[in-house]
Amino acid sequence: MNTEWRIDTRIIHGNQGPDPQTGAISQSIIPAVAYAFPDTETAAAVVCGEAEGVYYGRYGNPTSRTLELKIAALEGGEDALGVSSGMAAISIALLGFLQQGDHVLVTKDVYGGTYSFLTSLAPRFGITFDFVDCTDVQCLIEAIKPNTKAVYIETPSNPKLTILDIEAITEACQARQLPVIVDNTFMSPCLQNPLALGADVVVHSATKYINGHGDVLAGFIIGKKDMIQFMRKKLMGDLGQQLNAWDAFLILRGMKTMGLRVERHCANAQKVAEFLESHPSIEQVFYPGLESHPQYQLAQRQMKGMGGIVSFEVKGGLQQGKKLINSLQLAMISFSLGDPETLVQHPASMTHASIPQEERLKFGITDGLIRISVGLEDAEDIIADFAQALLNIREDAHVESNIG
C-alpha cells in the first residue's frame, strides 16, 4: 500500500485490491465455517498463531480479515478485530485488560450501553469502576487506585459532545502504566486517530459512520497485534461474537463513500448547529464546531472535523422537547446515528434510559436534552424541518399562555 496516499484514497484502496484469481474489483464474500489444510503441521501452525490463516469460522473469515486490515491501517494500528456489534467491541476491549479484582476508570459522560455493561455485567466478573470527570486530568489521576488496570474514555462523548484531551490523558496514564481505551465512534477514522495521540486501543461501533447505511451491526477494536490476537482467540472466539462475511462485505462496500459521507455530515451539522444556536426557543446547543462549546479550541486542535452529531436543550424542558420531536416531518425518531437519514432521539428516555435519573443529571443528561444525527439530506431542508417544528411549539406555548 502506498503510505503517502491521503485518507480518502486509503479508504478505497488501502489493503484491498482485485481478487488475485478472478480479477474482480468487488470484494468476494467467503462465509465458510471450516477450512482445509494440506497437512496436520500446517493446521497446527495456524491454530497456535505461528502461521497466518483461518481455521474455524468463529475466529474470523477472509472477508472480515480484509476489512480488519483496512481498518487497522486507517487508524494506524498494528492489527484490528472485527466483531458483531459496537457493544461487542466495547466489552471485549474492557475484558481484554480487566479480570476479577480489577478496577477501571471511565469518563462520566458515556454511552448508555457502556454504562449498562459496567453496572450490570462487570460486577459479575468481579470488576469495579468509577466514573470521573476526564476533562480534568488531575481529577483522573487522583481517582487512580492500586488495582486500576485501565482507563476508558469516549470523545466526543454521547450525547453531550464533551471533548477530552486524548494526548494529556494518555501521557498521564503512560507514566502510570495504565492502558487507555478510546471510543472513536462519533469521529470515524476520517476525523480523529487516537492511537497517534498516545492511546493504546481504539473501539468503533462500525454500525454508525464506518458502514454508514443503517443496515449492519458491527464493531472494531484496533491496537497492538499481540493484544488483538488475545482478544480474537480468548474473548471474541470463545464468546462467539465474530463478524460474519456478509456484514463485512457490506461495510467494505459502504466504506468506499465514507470520506464523502463524513464530510457532508460535518458540513450539514455545522449549519444545523448554527441555526439552532440562533433560535430564541433553544436554551443551549452542544456542538464542538461552535465557539460557545467549552472545548472548542481543543476540538480544533485534536479533530479534523467536528462530526455529524448535534445535541441541544429546548426551552420548556421535557414537554416542549417531546413536542418538538413529534412535530418533525423529515427527521425520524430513531436510536441509531451515522445513517444517510437525519435521526433524532431523546437520550433520557431512549439511548440512556438504563441510567437512573439522578446519575443522568450528574452526567449532564437532562430530561430536555435532544440529540440529532444530522444526515446527508440538503442542509436547508433539515433546517426547514426544525424551523417548522420550533414554530409549532412556540405557537402551542403562546396559546397555552393565553389560556392561562
Q: Can you give 237-253 as a three-state secondary structure string?
A: HHHCCECCHHHHHHHHH
b (16+ CB within 10 A) / e for 24-62: eeebebbeeeeeeeeeeeebebbeeeeeeebbebbebbb
Mean pLDDT of 313-319: 90
Q: Can you give 75-123 as a three-state secondary structure string?
A: HCCCEEEEECCHHHHHHHHHHCCCCCCCEEEEECCCCHHHHHHHHHHHH
Where in the chain is CATH 3.90.1150.10?
A: 258-399
> Per-residue confidence at 367, pLDDT binned at 50, 70, 90?
confident
> Per-residue confidence at 351, pLDDT binned at 50, 70, 90?
confident
pLDDT value of position 201? 98
Residue 317 has pLDDT above 70, yes or no: yes
Mean pLDDT of 138-155: 98
CATH class of 7-255: alpha beta
Q: Which residues participate in catalysis according to the annotation?
A: 58, 111, 183, 208
- Domain 258-399 matching CATH 3.90.1150.10: the answer reads yes
Where in the chain is CATH 3.40.640.10?
A: 7-255
Ranges of H-type helices in 223-368: 225-230, 237-239, 245-255, 258-277, 296-302, 317-327, 357-362
Mean pLDDT of 61-70: 96
pLDDT above 70 covers a percentage of the chain that reads: 97
pTM, two decimals, is 0.94
Residue 399 has pLDDT above 90, yes or no: no
pLDDT value of position 99? 98
Nearest to 306 by CA among 353, 262, 259: 262
Residue 240 has pLDDT above 90, yes or no: yes
Residue type, 46: V
